[in-house]
Amino acid sequence: MIEVIKAYPLATVISVKDNEPLVTHMPLIYRESDGKLIGHIDIYNPQTKLMRDDNDLTIIFSGPQCYISPSVYTTTQLPTWNYIKVHLKGTVKAIESKEALKESLIIMTEFLEQPDHKYVLEANNPRMDGNLDYIKMFEITITHWEGKFKLSQDKIKRDTEAAKQELIRANQQNIEPFLNKVF
């Protein structure tokens, strides 16, 4: 599950206020030293007010997913959907230190720039300094872990491998139309 979090750090973070869910998508970094998730949120996001005081959260990390046609199998099967998800529950605590925020932004950038590190966020970056008042840092203590790995594991080895190859192919192919339209 930690590997999924590291490979797909864009999380869906869900808080509840007055029986209404608030949902934000944001990268979260898993801190090995204490097993906490670290993140940042814009002060104008309505969810910011809930990112403190040991409030409860649900966090979802989504890995690759796709429809698996029976045509990819060598045996008779029904259509299915394969996916990788990690569901977490936790409590959130605001971190008010500007120095900790700055350090965290640098560490997150370093993590996300792996493996080539083509960009380095320097501690004396004036643009970062100018935006620190608009960003809040928080850490999440994970209280519950649940991995959901539906990958045709119940099939024979040959069909499991075929489903794996379809998952890879579909995830590469499915992004192309969006990239061509958005950019």
pLDDT exceeds 90 at position 177: no
Q: What is the pLDDT of residues 43-83, one digit of tens each?
A: 999 999 999 999 999 999 999 999 999 999 999 999 999 99
Range with the lowest mean pLDDT among 88-92, 99-103, 179-183? 179-183
Question: What tokens were used for 136?
Answer: 């809040």
Residue 74 · residue 159 · CB < 8 Å: yes
Percentages helix, strand, coil for the chain (3-state, rounded to 5) are 35, 40, 25
Q: How many other C-beta atoms can be found within 10 angstroms of the C-beta atom of residue 114?
A: 8
Beta-ladder partners of 21: 16
* Mean pLDDT for all residues in the chain: 94
Amino acid at 154: D
Q: Tokens 């045709």 appear where?
A: 152
- What pLDDT, on a 0 to 100 scale, did the predictor assign at position 143? 98
Q: What is the pLDDT of residues 120-170, one digit of tens each?
A: 999 999 999 999 999 999 999 999 999 999 999 999 999 999 999 999 988
Considering the domain delimited by 2-182, tell me its CATH architecture: Roll (2.30)
Q: Tokens 């499991």 appear where?
A: 160
pLDDT exceeds 90 at position 8: yes
- What pLDDT, on a 0 to 100 scale, did the predictor assign at position 183? 57
Per-domain residue ranges of the chain = 2-182
